[in-house]
Structure 1
Amino acid sequence: MYTLNLDIAQFLSEYWQKKPLLIKKAFPLFEDPISADELAGLACEEEISSRIVVTKDDNWEVVQGPFEDYDSYGETHWQLLVQAVNHWYPDSQPLVEALRFLPDWRFDDLMASFATPSGGVGPHVDNYDVFIIQGEGERRWTVGDNTPQQRRGGNPNSPLVEDFTPIIDVVLEKGDMLYIPPGFPHCGETLTVAMSYSIGFRAPSQQELISEVADYLLDNNLGQQRFTSQTEPSSAGIVSQDHQVGIMSLLSQLSQDPNSYQIVLGKLLSQNRFELDLCEGEEAYSIEDLQDAFAQGAGISRIGGLKVLRLENDATPRLFINGDVHELLNTPVDVIAQLSDNVSLSADEATEICQHEEVQALLLKLINQGFFYLSDSEE
């Protein structure tokens, strides 16, 4: 387990999505959840997103994984980054849990990196919140203010920005954590061979929301209402301000109707950007198998990265899991909350909630699909 040394209430009121924060000894007894060799092994896998960034004379070259070996990169000036480590390496999940005072729907992934001296990814700006946690070794981080940044070399498509004036300039040591909100430029430079971890939290963009709403309306043959006017302009060639506002109000009406947006939000926010490591068994479990496992002390756990969400004031009792909708029309709200709020359930807890037939059927389905698995009582 990881104990976070942070005043959460103060952080949320003064820093969250407002300004960067350095927390020295955020994890006083920090131990790396994964070794450099284990991380390198993950980057060998085809289904895992990884990349190496090579620093070259004020420029950065990106090489996409998977990787068979690393000898050609030498001992300095490169960094290996592996996305969604929490999906593939269960021992990293407790580090994610330490930041679970933020809602699951925002959580993106845990990215782990191994960096050699002078390795880094260059100065850049993220469109999401990130917590950078230092493991073994030391890295110097600079963070600039949230002001318009010039793209490096004048290239509007470059992920990098020009050098900036730091408002934070610090060397992170083992257990230190740096929080950076969206829009603040930052740059890391490795001083000694180092492991570090970035935990990202992301919100959907307007583009994503509009795309999801449009798909939902088309798939369900909804959104048929058309604009009607009370007045007409004096000139045939003009679109009056009243008409502009009236036409666009059709969209705002959708955003105020829970029947139009709740399913869209639930499905969108429960999806993952990165592939999940499904835990499918060789043979499907039966209800009897499930009950026997609980009787023998097995609990249930969800796989790393899986999002199980409920919506406050939802029009229908249901859960949204990995982009799918699961209605639980006859299940008490507190039981639904247990499933969304707990990553794992003990044998006793699982036995109790499985008294509800809908829950039992859902858990059996999720286990057979590989989204949940039977876990030891010690987990």
Structure 2
Amino acid sequence: MYTLDLNTQDFLTHYWQKKPLVIRQAFPNFEDIITSNELAGLACESEISSRVVVTTKNDWEIHQGPFEDYTQFGDKNWQLLVQALNHWYPDATPFIDAFRFIPDWRFDDLMVSFATKGGGVGAHIDNYDVFIVQGEGKRQWTVGNKGNYAKKNNSITTPLIEGFDPIIDVVLEKGDMLYIPPGFPHQGQTLTTAMSYSIGFRAPSQQELFSEIADNLIDNNTGLTRFTSHDEPALAGIISQTHQQGMVDLLQDVLQDPNHYQALLGKVLSQNRFELDICEPEEAYTHQDLLDALTQGASLHRIGGLKVLRVENDISPRLFINGEQIDCSKIEKDNLDSVMSTLTQTLQFDNETSKTLIKTPNISPILLTLLNKGYYYLAL
């Protein structure tokens, strides 16, 4: 349904995280994923992250959702933004699938914008990669080069900047796409009432990783080796170069041990910033329940936004899902790689694939765990 007309290998080689790119008709015959009324309805829900940005004379006002009424904003100069649509709207899945040439662990969310004429956000810089796909209507986008830019109104907390000289100045129409890597300033301006789709990809910072490493060591009561030295400085008030290096080496010992970093990375990278639509069944599914459902034609679906990851060359046969480890050690070695690949790559199993999967020895307990945690669901 959503076929991306892009040479992905050429894109990854020459543009990904390097420079911005405009792709005309990236999605030929594109149809909007959701209507503006449906989007407005989702923004009424308290568990869904939404906001309205109102453009004023020389600034922007941000109103946080949920929203019951939009008449207060008038008929121009504002836009509604709904985060993580893919968590709450299953019809977004085929669109997300078109971007899986980028690893799932990087995927942040699908943000959707409904904007009236004149609506937009000022010049700003993001610390993540974003693809912006235009739906109905037209929006003008300008993108500048990386550089040092003055913060808007000298605020140290805002992502907004005072301005930039554009290297891209383009009007996006239905099906067009703009890619913007981290650090490139950009600004969008709505020319006609419009729908836009922003697919964001994010990587952890050093600060985030070190924080998670520390928490992991504390939680597991590991990393208890203390620094020892073979020489001491002549002066008591000196931290010698050899002592400095020895303590750094102590940290590196932890960071280079797969027993520490593989589980840590699997946990961190399989989590989401935004709430998932997890709905555990009232009564736990049994193996017979699962067989009966599949016999009746059910299919097995992953909930929107859920990340199912495995670590290459992992020391243990396991999957990482929403920050949890799912043990796969009981699956026979001859089937292990195939099963884990299937679970990580497939978002929706049709009925025949589901019935084939459940025939794999020792797979049923894993599927039941995923169903009973609300990570997967059965659809008829």
Task: Tell me which interval the TM-score lies in, with the shorter structure as reference length.
Answer: over 0.9
* Equivalent residue, structure 1, for 2:378: 374
Tell me how far apart the structure 2 counterparts of residues 46 and 276 of structure 1 sit (CA, whole Å): 13
Q: Answer whether contact 2:126 2:159 (CA < 8 A) is retained.
A: no
Tell me how far apart the structure 2 counterparts of residues 25 and 349 of structure 1 sit (CA, whole Å): 33
Tell me how far apart the structure 2 counterparts of residues 226 and 28 of structure 1 sit (CA, whole Å): 60
How big is the shift at 1:277?
A: 1.0
Tell me how far apart the structure 1 counterparts of residues 284 and 124 of structure 2 sit (CA, whole Å): 47
Tell me how far apart the structure 1 counterparts of residues 379 and 102 of structure 2 sit (CA, whole Å): 25
Tell me how far apart the structure 2 counterparts of residues 293 and 99 of structure 1 sit (CA, whole Å): 31
Tell me how far apart the structure 2 counterparts of residues 159 and 15 of structure 1 sit (CA, whole Å): 23
Q: Answer whether contact 1:317 1:333 (CA < 8 A) is retained.
A: no
Residue 362 in structure 1 maps to residue 350 in structure 2: no
Unaligned runs of 5+ in 1: none
Q: Answer whether contact 1:119 1:190 (CA < 8 A) is retained.
A: yes
Residue aligned with 2:188, SS: strand
Tell me how far apart the structure 1 counterparts of residues 42 and 85 of structure 2 sit (CA, whole Å): 8
State the TM-score, normalizing by the size of structure 2.
0.97
Tell me how far apart the structure 1 counterparts of residues 222 and 273 of structure 2 sit (CA, whole Å): 27
How big is the shift at 1:62?
A: 0.6
Q: Answer whether contact 2:301 2:376 (CA < 8 A) is retained.
A: yes
Tell me how far apart the structure 2 counterparts of residues 278 and 12 of structure 1 sit (CA, whole Å): 33
> Which residue identity lines up with residue 359 of structure 2 in the other structure?
Q
Q: Which region of structure 1 is more displaced relative to structure 2, 36-45 or 85-94? A: 85-94
Tell me how far apart the structure 2 counterparts of residues 19 and 251 of structure 1 sit (CA, whole Å): 35
> Which residue identity lines up with residue 378 of structure 2 in the other structure?
L
Tell me how far apart the structure 2 counterparts of residues 162 and 231 of structure 1 sit (CA, whole Å): 54
* Equivalent residue, structure 2, for 1:5: 5
Tell me how far apart the structure 2 counterparts of residues 306 and 289 of structure 1 sit (CA, whole Å): 23
How big is the shift at 1:48?
A: 0.2
Residue 200 in structure 1 maps to residue 200 in structure 2: yes
Tell me how far apart the structure 1 counterparts of residues 221 and 125 of structure 2 sit (CA, whole Å): 40
Tell me how far apart the structure 1 counterparts of residues 216 and 358 of structure 2 sit (CA, whole Å): 32
How big is the shift at 1:369?
A: 2.0
Q: Answer whether contact 1:227 1:247 (CA < 8 A) is retained.
A: yes
* Equivalent residue, structure 2, for 1:84: 84
Task: Give 1:1-379 correspondences, 5 Å limit.
Answer: 1-331=1-331, 332-376=336-380
> Which residue identity lines up with residue 193 of structure 1 in the other structure?
T
Q: Answer whether contact 2:371 2:377 (CA < 8 A) is retained.
A: yes
> Which residue identity lines up with residue 347 of structure 1 in the other structure?
N
Tell me how far apart the structure 1 counterparts of residues 25 and 242 of structure 2 sit (CA, whole Å): 57
* Corresponding pairs, count: 376
Tell me how far apart the structure 2 counterparts of residues 358 and 150 of structure 1 sit (CA, whole Å): 59
Q: Answer whether contact 1:279 1:372 (CA < 8 A) is retained.
A: no
Tell me how far apart the structure 2 counterparts of residues 84 and 25 of structure 1 sit (CA, whole Å): 24
Tell me how far apart the structure 1 counterparts of residues 353 and 9 of structure 2 sit (CA, whole Å): 30
Q: Which region of structure 1 is more displaced relative to structure 2, 366-375 or 107-116? A: 366-375
Tell me how far apart the structure 2 counterparts of residues 349 and 262 of structure 1 sit (CA, whole Å): 30
How big is the shift at 1:357?
A: 4.9
Unaligned runs of 5+ in 2: none
Q: Which region of structure 1 is more displaced relative to structure 2, 284-293 or 21-30? A: 284-293
How big is the shift at 1:226?
A: 1.3
